[in-house]
Amino acid sequence: MKICQNCPCSSPSISLSSLASPCLNSELSLSLSLLLFPAESPTSPPLPARGTTGGKVSGVRGGVDVFLPSPSQPRGRFVLGRPRRLKVFSMALFIYFDYKAVQKRVKWVGAGKKDAIWTKTHERNARRVLNLMIELEGLWVKMGQYLSTRADVLPEPYINVLKQLQDSLPPRPLEEVRGTIEKELGKPMNDLFANFVLDPLATASIAQVHRATLVDGREVVVKIQHDGIKDIILEDLKNAKSLVEWIAWAEPQYNFNPMIDEWCKEAPKELDFNHEAENTKAVSSNLSRKTNCESGAVSSAVDVLIPEVIQSTDKVLILQYMDGIRLNDNDSLEAYGVDKQRLVEEITRAYAHQIYVDGFFNGDPHPGNFLVSKEPPHKPILLDFGLTKRISQSMRQALAKMFLSCAEGDHVALLSAFAEMGLKLRVDMPEQAMEIATVFFRQSTTANEAKENIKTLNDQRERNVKALQEKMKMNKKEVQRFNPVDAFPGDAIIFMRVLNLLRGLSASLNVRIVYLDIMRPFAESTLLGSMTRGPTANSQWIYDSPVNSEVESKLRNLLLELGSNKILGIQVCAYKDGKVIIDTAAGTLGKYDPRPVQPDSLFPVFSVTKGITAGMVHHLLNHTSGLHNALGDVMKSDPLLVCDWEEMLHQITKCTPETEPGSEQMYHYLSFGWLCGGIIEHASGKKLQEVLEEAIVHPLHINGELYIGIPPGVESRLAALTVDMEELEKLSGFRAGPDVPQELLSNVAQMATGLPVLFNTLNIRRAILPAANGHCSARALARYYAALGAGGAIPPPHSGGGSKPPLGSHVHTPKFPTMPSKKKKKGGSKNDVGVADKDGYTQLRTSDGSDEGSTVSAVVAGNGSGSGSSMFVDGGTKMLDAFMGVGDFSGMIHPNGKFGLGFRRYGYGAGAGEKVATTTFGHSGMGGSTGFCDVEHGLAMAVTVNKMSLGGVTRRVVRLVCEELGVPVPDEFSVAGDKGPDMVLNLAPPE
């Protein structure tokens, strides 16, 4: 065997740095660094380039030299036990108090000097950290290597100093290497290798790698584990655990015990090279196979290289040699013309494939674990699979759902993903949960943008802490001690670490990666591949419930015909002469939510809500107040202000009409709700939700299936909105109709695309928007219109063919966002809604009809007790006249207008000059959901959908039912009618 020293083949550019030791979780490491290196401190300019003389690094400012032993200098055995532990904790305390002292000092100096003070502080402590890590080696070197890649979040002095750890450490003696190889492989080295290069390609925390040639002529690299390293790593993990516990005690907001626990469990696996060999083979096989998915987004293998495994034992691993360039060798990357953007994108694709498609991924993607092929197209070479995590199919789907919910802004799907992966939150704060989750998938930043990125993350953290403090009604000390996470799954910890390491990789190469674009196809392939969409793929696409009538059987055939191309999720319910003849649910709750739609699922129904609101008052505005654009400017400047019910009621009082009240009928798309809601609350002395419960929900026995602003606890039943993209393209051909403000449709395509994102967020879903934020099931909505069509008479108990769960079975006292307290009027305590809980929600009091507050004022539609046979205090005939604007109420509606008092009047026999029918009324919502009743023919019907379109599905459903029953089809749903329910208010055909 030939032993080579200083051989050309040992050039650093062809190193195989697959030597990673166990490391703290990325979030733990990052949090440790942010604790020791406060985020509000500015970063410094780059340090000058360093030269080396012997083993000493020169050119470092500040009076603290960094000593790196040269390869020729011998190293002693690892320091074990109490001395090692003492060094770790004493240095941590020293740095901690140094920063605390500087934080106090900078308060008394001018702004111009603060930057310089922080720069020197970072440099000073970075060198202290580096010296300690070099002295201790083991786990701490690996931690330093990780931190040196986080140019996106760490001050630049730390990056400049810790980068030295990316270079090879001093090697172990050849005698030790020879002894390990011969003991593990059972043969003398002369019998194993024709050539063995003495100088290692790289030396890292747990092993070193030598280039060699086997006796059969194959070029290989040999990875040899350091003697005694296992005890060192296990002790370092124990010390790291203690350090994390101390930090959690000193700074409670940095409690990462669950994360270090996961690493204590996973890290020792990396010390078994047989385990690494099997992992390498598995990942190579996974990434080389073709991947097919329903969406077609992932159609071929990722374009990466992985060395072949030749032989392995517990402490020796022999791999195929691949000639490559190290990622930190920028000069060579430039010389070979490597496209760094494409390189990092391909690495990211490889990890997305491992995580979402295979469920088996390398948990340690730091720069040392990659090379770049010297041959065009310069493919990435993936190395070191010692720390490889296998996750279950359910976890893969949950991680995919978490990713896609962030991309879609869907709070409900995010919380569902959290539950599926085992992440439990102690506080109901979906907005902050979405914000934090989105941070993991944010676009990467370059090293040059690190300062601004640190400030952004710090500002976000402060906002979240403040929101938590307000939500939980805690003081500053209490909120620091409060951990909002009750349980954190270990699999998610490794996943988050990988994302952060990839982010650090892109920052170190100064490229910007849009993770949502690159990883999305792989996440979709996993989630959509697990969802049996459409009737042909899923026999349970239509919810299993008895068929109530022949017309329902034909309706289900129609839904099967339309299939998943036009339908995502749908509910249809109809009453005929007070009896249920249709109660059908089909499809899924969301684009990325495979759960089936059930009869009690809650759909957002937009302007259908106006019909509910109208049912709570006798005299209701008929869209002629002239306030159709009220608060438009306010909502433009702050769209989420609509979530503040009290503030919007206050703002509406300051608006002035644009047209003479009563002169023009213009659709009041949002202002309708605040105008009516204010009337309801002022006249009744009660909150809107309390009136809704007393006047409609309890009498109709539809508990838990009709809300205006959902309470916490019903998220699992919510359908998520999406858009029919094919129909969205048709919108460009339509103009604003004569009865809708042009401002509403200035960019209708953009509005239609943005609405699902906005209305899928829980803060909007929980807002009180009586014009647009109703959430209900079709069977609850149909029952409501069946009662209206019967003059307020309560229909018999819902007999939907035994559909389960039974309508009204969700017995609970709803809780809604606490309103700002106002001064109570004398003797007005009886009108209090309820008691505010510490979680920021008010629980509505239940009413049994015994108190005088149970009877809603005369202007409110309902007696509130739910014990009578009618919804209305006075005669139902007058109520129907008011809704249609006839009889005594004919003078209150706009001549030739399409609205009665609160409801849309539907006509028959489409064509010019047709007289508006006076027996059919209802209201539809943007995207296709609708509810109406035909008084003359005893028909009440509701359709709810979550795939927003121009209403084509709804029109076909209504037409089929009406034609089968021999009931005239309202113009709005006929072939000759305008485009879609509710769209008739918004769009007119092209001229």
Burial 21-40 (b: 16+ CB within 10 A, else e): bbbbbbbbbbbbbbbbbbbe
Over residues 726-744, the mean pLDDT reads 55
Q: Which of 24-28, 724-728, 811-815, 938-942 has the lowest mean pLDDT?
A: 24-28
- Which residues, at least 6 apart from 956, have a Cβ–Cβ distance to it below 8 Å? 558, 562
Task: Give the pLDDT score at 23.
Answer: 32
pLDDT value for 988: 41
Average pLDDT estimate for 36-49:
32
Q: How far is CA 911 from CA 293, 907, 977, in A?
A: 48, 10, 9
Q: What is the reported pLDDT for 294?
A: 44
Tell me whether the omega of the peptide bond preceding residue 639 falls within 30 degrees of 0, making it cis. Answer: no
- Res. 961: pLDDT tops 90: yes
Residue 45 has pLDDT above 70, yes or no: no
Q: What is the pLDDT of residue 14?
A: 27
Dmax (CA) for the chain in angstroms is 110
Mean pLDDT for 100-116 is 87
Residue 672 confidence class, pLDDT cut points 50, 70, 90: confident
- In the prediction, which pLDDT does 757 show? 75
Lowest mean pLDDT of 28-42, 683-697, 949-963, name the range: 28-42
Residue-level pLDDT at 291: 52
Query: If pLDDT is split at 50, 70 and 90, which confidence band does 339 have?
Result: very high
* Closest alpha carbon to 566 in 539, 602, 534: 534
Nearest to 137 by CA among 85, 204, 50, 44: 204
pLDDT attached to residue 437? 61
154 vs 54, residue with greater confidence:
154
Between 874 and 298, residue with greater pLDDT: 874
pLDDT recorded at residue 802: 66
% of the chain residues with pLDDT over 70: 66
3-state secondary structure 417-466: HHHHHCCEECCCCHHHHHHHHHHHCCCCCCHHHHHHHHHHHHHHHHHHHH
pLDDT value at residue 661: 74
Q: Reply yes or no on whether the pLDDT at 618 is more than 60.
A: no
Q: Measured between alpha carbons, how far is 425 from 754 in angstroms, rounded to an integer?
A: 28
Does residue 37 register a pLDDT over 70? no
Cα distance between residue 492 and residue 418, in whole Å: 10
The yes-or-no verdict on residue 800 having pLDDT over 80 is no
Which amino acid type is present at position 182? E
Question: Domains plus CATH for the chain?
Answer: 20-48+75-168+229-270+291-304+333-530 (no CATH), 550-806+833-988 (3.40.710.10)
Q: Hunting for tokens 């858009």 — which residue is that? A: 723
237-270 confidence digits (pLDDT tens): 888 888 888 877 776 666 667 667 777 887 788 8
pLDDT at 184: 96
CB atoms within 10 A of CB 151: 29
Say how far residue 711 (Cα) sits from the centre of its chain.
20
Lowest mean pLDDT among 364-368, 667-671, 686-690: 667-671
Q: What is the pLDDT of residue 274?
A: 96
Cβ atoms of residues 138 and 79 within 8 Å: no
Lowest mean pLDDT among 442-451, 594-603, 789-798, 919-928: 442-451
Give 650-656 contacts, CB < 8 A, sequence gap 24+.
652/627, 652/678, 653/678, 655/627, 655/630, 655/631
pLDDT band at 813 (very low <50, low <70, confident <90, very high): low
Q: Any idea which residues carry the catalytic annotation? A: 364
Q: What is the pLDDT of residues 649-664, one digit of tens each?
A: 887 777 777 777 767 7
pLDDT at 909 over 80: no
Mean pLDDT of 701-716: 89
- Spatial separation of the C-alpha atoms in residues 266 and 387, rounded to whole Å: 7
Average the pLDDT over each of 96-110, 457-471, 579-593, 779-793 and give the range with the smallest value: 457-471
User: What are the contacts of 239-246 at 24+ separation with CB within 8 A?
Assistant: 239/84, 239/85, 239/88, 239/89, 240/24, 240/139, 242/85, 242/89, 243/32, 243/88, 243/89, 243/92, 244/24, 244/28, 244/32, 246/89, 246/92
In this prediction, residue 52 carries a pLDDT of 33
Confidence (pLDDT) at 479: 59
Contact 366, 18 (CB under 8 A): no
Average pLDDT score, the chain: 75
- 223 pLDDT band, cuts 50/70/90, is very high
Task: Work out the pLDDT band at 151, boundaries 50, 70, 90.
Answer: low
Pair 721, 602: CB distance under 8 Å: no
Higher pLDDT, 699 or 26: 699
pLDDT given at position 931: 95
Quick one: pLDDT at residue 662? Answer: 67
Residue 923, SS3?
strand
Q: What is the pLDDT of residues 367-383, one digit of tens each?
A: 888 999 999 999 999 99
Q: Is 837 left (phi over 0), alpha (psi -120 to 50) or beta?
A: beta
879/471: higher pLDDT:
879
Q: 377: buried, middle or exposed (CB in 10 Å: 19+, 13-18, 0-12)?
A: exposed
Question: pLDDT tens across 861-871, in order?
Answer: 443 334 447 77
Per-residue pLDDT, 227: 92
Average pLDDT score over residue span 586-600? 89
Percent of the chain with pLDDT over 90: 29
Position 441 pLDDT exceeds 50: yes
Please provide the size of the chain in residues: 991
Residue 638 pLDDT level (bands cut at 50, 70, 90): low
Burial class (CB in 10 A: 0-12, 13-18, 19+), 536: exposed
Does the pLDDT of residue 333 top 50, yes or no? yes
Q: Residue 441 phi/psi, 5° resolution? A: -105, 10
- In sequence order, the 6+-apart residues with CB closer than 8 A to the CB of 729 are none
pLDDT digits 0-9 by tens, 191-213: 999 999 999 998 888 899 999 99
Taking residues 225-230, what's their average pLDDT? 92
Residue 152, burial from CB neighbour count under 10 angstroms (0-12, 13-18, 19+) = buried
For the chain, the C-alpha Rg in angstroms (whole number) is: 34
Top-confidence residue, 958 or 53: 958
As a whole number of Å, the end-to-end CA separation of the chain is 89
Residues 804-812, mean pLDDT to the nearest whole number: 82
Q: What is the mean pLDDT of residues 498-506?
A: 84
Q: Report the C-alpha gap between 444 and 449 in whole angstroms.
A: 10
Over range 566-576, report the average pLDDT: 94
Residue 107 pLDDT > 50: yes
